[in-house]
C-alpha cells in the first residue's frame, strides 16, 4: 500500500462557510504540510449574497464574486478549492449531486472529512450538504458503485475517514454539542487573513475572532493538567460523528 | 513545572469491575510504562458475591476473598490497587466518601480518569460511584477545599484530567453510546490473565473475550484508511465525558 | 417602514387539520382584530375521507366536499383559507410545492406561523407539511430567491416570524412536548362552531372539547400566581420552534 | 370478518439482512405454523457484494447469486421471499417504490412487520428501507389510496400491525435501544442453517452466533422470576416502534 | 420451584396515586384472580390534602382520613394495601426507607411492579418514590443484603420482575412516552368505584374518566388488525422500564 | 386578592453567579420598577475564590469579601440580596436547606424565579442549587408544609411562578438549549456596573460583555419582522422550565 498523505476534505454548502467555521483547522493542517481540499457545493449566490442582490447585480456576477472570494480565502489558508455549482436556497439533495461528491472523495482520498452538522433550523442547505457528504463518503467505499459509469479500481475506493461537523451559527439550536475542542492558536493568523478575503461580511471578522477566543477559553478549561496553554489560546469547536479509534486514552 | 508521569486512575464501584470493563486500557497503559491506580470503593461483598453467600461464608471472609482476587488481577495488569471499603448494595453517596476520593485524586495526580457511566438501571452502585468520582475530580481542583482539615498546597491541586466511562453490562439500556473505541489487541493477553484471577466468575472470561472481539470489529470498521489492523483486533468501548482537547483532528 | 397588521399564517397538511388543532388560536387572533390565513396543502382527499370513499364518491366530489367544509370552518373562525391542492397520502415534498409556499409567505407577510410538528409516526403528511413550511419561511426571507421567475422587492421579503407547532393526535408518540399553553377560553365557542362545520367527523367534536378542557387544566396549573383563571378554562398546546424573543421574563 | 392467519412481513433493504438480523424471529414464527414473507428491496448487489466485484463478476450475475442465496436462506427459515429489485447504494426512496410496497402490504396482510431501524450512520439504505416500509404501512390502511390505478376493496386495506426494528450492525451508534428481547433458543438451529446459505460471509456465522448468545444473556437477565430459562438461551433484540397494546401487564 | 401466583406490587408515593393512575391495571389483575398489593409510602398528608388543612384539621386526623380512603379504594379494586408512613412533601429518599421496601419486595414476591415515572417537575415525591422502588427491587434480589439484620433465604430473594411506570399528571412535561397501552375496558367499573372512595377529589372522577377514554382511543389506534375493540374502550398508559422479554413478537 | 408587585427571585449557588448570568434580567426588572431579590446559597468561598486562598486569607475573611462584593453588585442592579451561608464545594442538598428556601419563597412571594440549569458537568453546586430551588418552589405552595414548625396562612402560600434557568459557563456541555432570548440592551450599563463590583474577576468583564453581544445577535436573528432592533443589541439566554402560559401566540 502506498503511503497516504494526510488530506483534509471540507464539504461546504456555500462559498464562505469553510472560512468562518473551519478556517483554523484547515490552516493548521496545511501548516503541518498536509493537503486540504475544499468543495463548495454552491456559491451561496441566492441565500448569502443579500448585499449584492440589493446592488442589483446579476446572478452570474454574484457567483463570480463569491467564487473569487472563496479562492482567495482558500489560498490564504493554503488549501485547494473546487466548486460544484449545485445551486443554493435550496441546495437540493439529489442522486446526481451525491454521485459527483463520490467522485470527489475518490479523487481526493481524504483522511479526515469536515462538513456541516445535520441540524440547522436557520438554514436547510447546511444539513443537505452534510447528508450528501455523509452518503458520498459511504458510497465511495464500495467497489460496486460507479461514477459516470466507470467502476473504481481497488486503489480508488476509500477507507472510512473520520467525520467532524464544524460549528453552526446558533449551536444550541442546532443540537451542536462539541465533543472536540481544537486548539488553533498558531493557525489563527492565517484564518484572520482568510476572513479578510470576504470584505462583504466585514462585521463577521470580529464576531468569529470573539468566537475563537470563547472556544479558546473552553480549550483551556477542558485541557488536562500541566499543558501550559497561553492566555490567548484560540479554539474551534467540532462534533465528531463516528467514534474515535485510538490506542491511547488521553 | 515538574514533568508529569502519565497516570491512569480507575474508580471502580466493586472489586471486580475494573477487570472486565477496563482491563485492556489499564494493561495498555502499564505496558507503555505509565502508572495505573485502581480504587475500589467497595469489595462488592453483598451484591456481587452470591456464590460465596450461598456457601455460607461470613462477611469478613467474603471481603477478604474479593480483595485478594482484585489484588491479583491488578498485579496481572501491572496496576496498583486500593480499597475504600465503603460498603455496597447500596454504595451510599456521602460527603465523607467524596472527601476520601478527593484525597486519592490529590495523591495520585491522575492524567486520565476511568469510571462507570452515569446510568445503569441494573445496578445503582455504578452510577453512585461515577457521581462521586466526578464530584471528587472537581473538588480536588479547588485550593479552598480541605481533606481531613488540611488544605492542599498548589502542587497538590489537580488539573482537569479527561474522564472516560467504561462499558456497562447492558450498554444500550444504560444510555452508553461509545465515542471512543480503544484498540487493546496488544494488551489483551494481560487482560485475559487478570480475568483468570477471578475464578468465581469463570463464565465471564469467555463473555468478555467475545465482547473484546465484537468491539474489535468496530475498531476496524471505524478506523481511518490504510491502518492495516489485524484480523484479531481486540477492543474496549469508552464514552468520553468532557470534550476532547487536541490540536489535530484525526 | 409601514405598520404591520399582525397576521397568523397556518400551514395545514389536510383540509381539516387547522380546525381541530389550532381553531382556538385562530379564533383568538381574529377576535383581536388580527388577520388569519390558512393554507391547506391538500384536501385530505385520500387519507382522511374514508367515509366518503366507502360511499363510492369520486375523487373530484370528495375534494369539493372537503373544500366546502374547510371554507365554512375558516369562515366560522374569521379566517381566510386557500388550497394548494398538492395531493395527500402521500403529500410529496417537492421544490415546486415549496416555491408555491414561498409565494404565499411573501404575499401574506405573516407575523406568526402555525404548522404541524416535525414528527408523527401515524401520518407522514404532517411532518412533510411542516418541513415545507419551515423551508419556505427561510427561502421567503432571501432577496435572491425568485418565485415563478420573479425576484422579490425589498418589501416582499419577510422577516423571521416565530413558528409554533400545533398538537398532533398522539402527542407523546410524536415527541410533542408543549412549551406554550394557550388560553383559548374566550375563543372556544368559535372553535366549537368551526368544528361543527365538519359533520363527517362528529365524534371528534367531543374529543377535541375534552382535549381543550384537559389543556385548560394545564393552563391553570402552570399559570403564575393570582391569575384568577375561571374553572372552565379552555386550552390549546403548542411547541415553539425557535427561541422566544422578549424583553420581559414572565 | 374472516380469521386472520398470523403473518410476519419482513422488509429488508438488501438480500442478506433478514437472515442475520431477524432469522430467529422468522423461524420462530414459521415453527409456530405462521406465515412469514420477506421482501428484499434490493439484492445488495453494489454495497454488500465486494468479494464478487473483486472477482470481476458482472452485475447481472451478482444479482442472481445474491437472489439464490436469499431464496435458500428463506427456505431454510420456512419463509417466502420476494424481490423488488429497486437498486442499492443508494436505495432511493421514491413514491413509486413506496407504491409497490403498499401493494405488498395489501396482498400479504401482515399482522406483524419487521424492518430496519430509522438511523444507521454506516449505511443509508437501511433507514431508507425503514422509512418506505413505515410509509407504505400507513398508506395501505387508506381506502382512498390506489395501487397501479386500482383502489382497494374494504378487505384489502390493512389494519395497524405492530412494527419492530431489528438490530443494526452497530446498535449504539444507530440509537438502537432494544425494548424487546426475543427468546429464539428453539428457533436458533434454523437460523444457523439459514446463515450457512450465505457462504460468502462465512465470518459472519460466528459473529451472529455470539450476538445471539449475548442477547440470550440479556433475555435471562431481564426475564421475570422463576422462568427457568436454559443456560444456552439465544436471543434477538428488537425495538418496538409503536406502543404495545395489551390487556395484561407482564 | 413452587408455582408463583402472579402478584402485582404497586409502589405509590401518596395515598391516592394508585387509584387515579393504576386503578384499571390493579382491578384487571384481581379480576383475573391474581394478587395485588399496594404500598403507600406516605398518606399525602401535607402535599395532597389542602382542603383538609383549610378546614383546620390536625395532622393525625388528616392521615387517618387519607388512610381510610385508600383502604376503601384498595378494597374496591380487590387489592391489599399497606402504609409505610414515611412522610411527604418532601418524601425523603433514605437508606432506611429503601430497606423497608426491600422487606416488602421479599415478602410480597411481585411478578410485576408498578410505580411513578422518574421525572415529574410538578411533584418531587413521585420520582423519589420511583427511585426507591427501583433500588429496593435490585437490592431484594441479592442474597447478601439483609433487612433488619436478617439475611434472606434463597426462597426470599426475588427475581427480576418487570417494572411499569404509570401516567403522571402532565405526561409530556414528565418525559412520559407510553410504550404500553393497557386495555382496561372490563376493569373500568371497578376503577370508577375506587375513585368514588375519594370524595374530596370529586372533580378528578370525570377528569380520569375522560383520560381513560382518550387512552382508549389510542388503544384502538395502535391495536393490530381485526381486534374488534368496542367503541367505549377504556385505556391506561404505561411506560415499561426494562426491555420486554418474550418469545413471540406481537 | 391584593395586587401583586412583580417580584423576581434569583437563587444563586455562589455569591457572584447572579451578576454574570442574570444581571441583565435583574436590572431590567428593577428599571421597570419591579422588585428583585437575590438569594446566595453560599459565598463561593471555597470553589470560586482561588486568588484569595492563594493570598493566604482565612475563610472568614474570604466570605466577608465575597459578601461585600455581592452586596455592591446587587445594589448596582437595584436588587436586594441575602445569604444563606450553606457552604460550597460541595453545596449540600439537605432538607434543612430546602426548608430555609421555602421560607424565602413565602416571604418574597416571587412572580418569576431564576436559577441555575439542572446540569453542569463542571460544577456540582449549580445543579444542587437548582434542585433545591425547584423543590422549595413546590413545597412553598402547600398549606400543609410548615417552616420552623409554623404553618403558612393562605396568604403565605405561593402560586406557581415560572422558572427560568440562566446560562451556564459551557452551555452546550450543560444541555442548555435557550428557549428565551432576553433583550437586555437598556439594562446592560447597569450590568456592567455590577460586574465592576467584582474586581477579582476582571477578566470576566470582557468575557460577559462579548457573550451579551453574541446573544444580542441571536436576539436580532430570532426576532419577528419589523422590530427595528439596534445594532448594539445586548442579550441574555434563558431556558424556561415550565410551559409558557399565554393568551397570545407571539
Do the beta carbons of residue C162 and residue C123 sit within 8 Å? no
Cβ A214–F210 below 8 Å, yes or no?
yes
pLDDT in tens, A106-160: 999 999 999 999 999 999 999 999 999 999 999 999 999 999 999 999 999 999 9
Q: Three-class SS of residue C114? A: strand
Q: Which long-range contacts (CB under 8 A, 24 or more apart) does B26-29 make?
A: B26/B77, B26/B78, B26/B79, B27/B77, B27/B78, B27/B184, B27/B187, B27/B188, B27/B190, B27/B191, B27/B194, B28/A247, B28/A248, B28/B182, B28/B184, B28/B186, B28/B187, B29/A249, B29/B112
Q: Check whether C113 has a pLDDT greater than 60.
A: yes
Residue of B nearest to A2 (CA): B226
Of C94 and C1, more confident: C94
Using a 10 angstrom Cβ sphere, with 0-12 exposed, 13-18 middle and 19 or more buried, the burial of residue B33 is exposed
- Where is average pLDDT lowest: A197-206, C165-174, D117-126, E39-48? A197-206
Neighbours of chain D (3+ CB pairs under 8 A): A, B, C, E
Neighbours of chain B (3+ CB pairs under 8 A): A, D, E, F
Do the beta carbons of residue C15 and residue C43 sit within 8 Å? yes
Residue A95: which of D59, D90, D173 has the nearest Cβ?
D90
Cβ A98–D90 below 8 Å, yes or no?
yes
Q: Check whether C81 has a pLDDT greater than 50.
A: yes
Binned at pLDDT 50, 70 and 90, residue C99 comes out as very high
Residue B224: which of A161, A224, A243 has the nearest Cβ?
A161
Put simply, whether E54 touches F (Cβ < 8 Å) is yes
Give the strand pairing for E112-115 and E163-166.
Answer: parallel
Residue D242: which of E114, E222, E245 has the nearest Cβ?
E222
Cβ A210–F207 below 8 Å, yes or no?
no
Q: What is the DSSP letter of D1?
A: -
Which CATH code for domain A7-240?
3.40.50.10320
Binned at pLDDT 50, 70 and 90, residue C201 comes out as confident
DSSP collapsed to 3 states, F10-47: EEECCCCHHHHHHHHHHHHHHHCCCEEEEEECCCCCCC
Cβ B249–A224 below 8 Å, yes or no?
no
pLDDT in tens, B234-243: 999 999 999 9
- Tell me how close the Cα of B139 comes to any Cα of chain F, in angstroms: 6
Q: Three-class SS of residue F152? A: coil
Give Cβ neighbours of residue D155 (< 8 Å, ≥ 6 apart).
Answer: none
Cβ F53–B135 below 8 Å, yes or no?
no
Strands annotated E in chain E: 7-12, 35-40, 80-83, 112-115, 163-166, 180-183, 235-240, 244-246
DSSP run (H or E) holding B193 = helix B188-195
- Tell me how close the Cα of D239 comes to any Cα of chain B, in angstroms: 11
- Tell me how close the Cα of D196 comes to any Cα of chain B, in angstroms: 20
% of chain F beyond a pLDDT of 90: 92
DSSP collapsed to 3 states, D66-109: HHHHHHHHHHHHCCEEEECCCCCCCCCCCHHHHHHHHHHHHHHC
Q: Residue for cell digits 474496549?
A: B236
Do the beta carbons of residue D66 and residue D41 sit within 8 Å? no
User: Which pLDDT score is estimated for D225?
Assistant: 53
User: Which pLDDT score is estimated for D231?
Assistant: 81
Among F67, F76, F59, F6, which residue's Cα sits nearest to residue F39?
F67
Residues in chain C within 8 Å Cβ distance of D98: 90
- Tell me how close the Cα of A47 comes to any Cα of chain C, in angstroms: 6
Residues in chain D within 8 Å Cβ distance of B175: 177
Q: Before E2, cis peptide (omega within 30)?
A: no
DSSP run (H or E) holding B19 = helix B17-31
Do the beta carbons of residue B93 and residue B48 sit within 8 Å? no
- Tell me how close the Cα of E11 comes to any Cα of chain F, in angstroms: 21
Q: What is chain D's alpha carbon radius of gyration, rounded to the nearest angstrom?
A: 18
The pLDDT mean for chain E works out to 95
Give Cβ neighbours of residue F61 (< 8 Å, ≥ 6 apart).
Answer: F52
Residues in chain E within 8 Å Cβ distance of D249: 8, 25, 29, 112, 114, 162, 164, 180, 182, 238
Q: CA-based angle E30:E36:E41, to the nearest 5?
A: 145
Binned at pLDDT 50, 70 and 90, residue E107 comes out as very high
Give the rounded distance of the alpha carbon of F237 from its chain centre.
12
Binned at pLDDT 50, 70 and 90, residue B201 comes out as confident
Task: Kindly state the cell numbers that stand for D180.
Answer: 424487546
Q: Check whether B1 has a pLDDT greater than 70.
A: no
Residue of E nearest to B172 (CA): E243
User: Which pLDDT score is estimated for D227?
Assistant: 58
* pLDDT average, residue stretch D44-62: 95
Among E6, E7, E26, E49, which residue's Cα sits nearest to residue E194?
E26
Residue E138: which of B50, B62, B124 has the nearest Cβ?
B124
Put simply, whether D241 touches C (Cβ < 8 Å) is yes
Q: Three-class SS of residue D239? A: strand
Q: Check whether A3 has a pLDDT greater than 80.
A: no
Q: Check whether A1 has a pLDDT greater than 50.
A: no
* Length, in residues, of chain A: 250
User: Which pLDDT score is estimated for D230?
Assistant: 82
Q: What is chain C's alpha carbon radius of gyration, rounded to the nearest angstrom?
A: 18
Q: Three-class SS of residue F77? A: helix
Residue of F nearest to B144 (CA): F46
* pLDDT average, residue stretch F184-207: 95
User: Around D189, how many Cα atoms within 13 Å sit in the side-chain half-sphere?
Assistant: 2
Distance in angstroms (rounded) separating the CA atoms of residues F169 and F14: 14
Task: Kindly state the cell numbers that stand for D137.
Answer: 404501512
* pLDDT average, residue stretch E41-50: 95
Q: Check whether E226 has a pLDDT greater than 50.
A: no
Q: Residue for cell digits 406561523?
A: C113
Put simply, whether B213 touches D (Cβ < 8 Å) is yes
- Tell me how close the Cα of C143 comes to any Cα of chain D, in angstroms: 32
Cβ B244–A180 below 8 Å, yes or no?
yes
What is the per-residue DSSP string for E200-250?
A: GGHHHHHHHHHHHHHHHHHHHHHS-TT----TT--EEEEEESSPEEESS--
% of chain E beyond a pLDDT of 70: 97
Distance in angstroms (rounded) separating the CA atoms of residues C177 and C227: 24
User: Around B221, how many Cα atoms within 13 Å sit in the side-chain half-sphere?
Assistant: 18
Do the beta carbons of residue C194 and residue C18 sit within 8 Å? no
Residue D53: which of A95, A143, A241 has the nearest Cβ?
A143
The pLDDT mean for chain C works out to 95
A58-73 as b/e: b if 16+ CB within 10 A = ebeebbebbbebbbbb
Q: What is the DSSP letter of A152?
A: P
Residues in chain E within 8 Å Cβ distance of F151: 53
What are the backbone angles phi and psi of residue E6, rounded to the nearest 5°? Answer: -55, 130
Residue of B nearest to D207 (CA): B214
* pLDDT average, residue stretch F135-154: 97
pTM here is 0.97
What are the backbone angles phi and psi of residue B56, rounded to the nearest 5°? Answer: 80, 20
Put simply, whether E60 touches F (Cβ < 8 Å) is no
Residue A172: which of F122, F172, F207 has the nearest Cβ?
F172
User: Which pLDDT score is estimated for F224?
Assistant: 64
- Tell me how close the Cα of F145 comes to any Cα of chain E, in angstroms: 6
Q: Residue for cell digits 379552555?
A: C234
Residues in chain F within 8 Å Cβ distance of E61: none
Task: Kindly state the cell numbers that stand for E250.
Answer: 406481537
Cβ E144–B53 below 8 Å, yes or no?
yes
- Tell me how close the Cα of E90 comes to any Cα of chain F, in angstroms: 8
Distance in angstroms (rounded) separating the CA atoms of residues E101 and D107: 53
User: Which pLDDT score is estimated for D229?
Assistant: 79
Residue C171: which of E122, E169, E172 has the nearest Cβ?
E172
User: Which pLDDT score is estimated for E225?
Assistant: 53
Cβ D246–E182 below 8 Å, yes or no?
yes
Residues in chain B within 8 Å Cβ distance of F123: 138
Q: Three-class SS of residue B104? A: helix
Distance in angstroms (rounded) separating the CA atoms of residues F114 and F183: 16
Q: Which of residues 10-29 of D touch E (CB under 8 A)?
A: 25, 28-29
Do the beta carbons of residue A30 and residue A38 sit within 8 Å? no
Cβ B218–D170 below 8 Å, yes or no?
yes
Put simply, whether F213 touches A (Cβ < 8 Å) is yes
Binned at pLDDT 50, 70 and 90, residue A231 comes out as confident
User: Around D250, how many Cα atoms within 13 Å sit in the side-chain half-sphere?
Assistant: 13
pLDDT in tens, B102-138: 999 999 999 999 999 999 999 999 999 999 999 999 9
Amino acid at each position: 500500500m502506498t503511503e497516504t498523505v494526510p488530506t483534509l476534505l471540507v464539504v461546504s454548502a456555500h462559498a464562505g462557510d469553510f472560512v468562518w467555521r473551519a478556517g483554523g483547522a484547515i490552516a493548521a493542517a496545511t501548516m503541518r504540510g498536509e493537503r486540504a481540499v475544499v468543495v463548495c457545493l454552491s456559491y451561496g449566490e441566492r441565500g448569502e449574497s443579500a448585499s449584492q442582490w440589493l446592488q442589483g447585480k446579476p446572478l452570474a456576477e454574484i457567483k463570480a464574486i463569491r467564487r473569487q472570494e472563496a479562492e482567495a480565502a482558500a489560498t490564504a489558508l493554503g488549501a485547494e478549492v473546487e466548486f460544484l455549482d449545485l445551486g443554493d436556497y435550496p441546495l437540493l439533495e439529489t442522486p446526481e449531486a451525491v454521485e459527483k461528491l463520490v467522485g470527489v472523495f475518490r479523487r481526493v482520498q481524504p483522511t479526515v472529512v469536515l462538513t456541516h452538522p445535520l441540524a440547522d433550523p436557520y438554514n436547510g442547505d447546511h444539513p443537505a450538504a452534510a447528508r450528501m457528504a455523509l452518503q458520498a463518503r459511504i458510497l465511495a467505499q464500495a467497489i460496486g458503485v460507479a461514477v459516470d459509469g466507470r467502476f473504481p479500481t481497488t486503489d480508488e475506493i476509500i477507507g472510512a475517514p473520520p467525520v467532524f461537523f464544524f460549528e453552526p451559527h446558533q449551536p444550541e439550536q442546532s443540537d451542536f454539542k462539541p465533543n472536540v475542542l481544537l486548539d488553533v492558536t498558531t493557525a489563527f493568523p492565517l484564518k484572520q487573513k482568510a476572513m479578510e478575503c470576504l470584505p462583504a461580511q466585514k462585521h463577521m471578522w470580529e464576531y468569529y475572532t470573539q468566537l475563537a477566543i470563547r472556544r479558546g477559553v473552553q480549550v483551556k478549561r477542558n485541557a488536562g493538567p500541566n499543558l501550559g496553554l497561553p492566555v490567548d489560546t484560540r479554539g474551534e469547536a467540532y462534533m465528531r460523528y463516528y467514534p474515535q479509534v485510538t490506542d491511547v486514552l488521553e
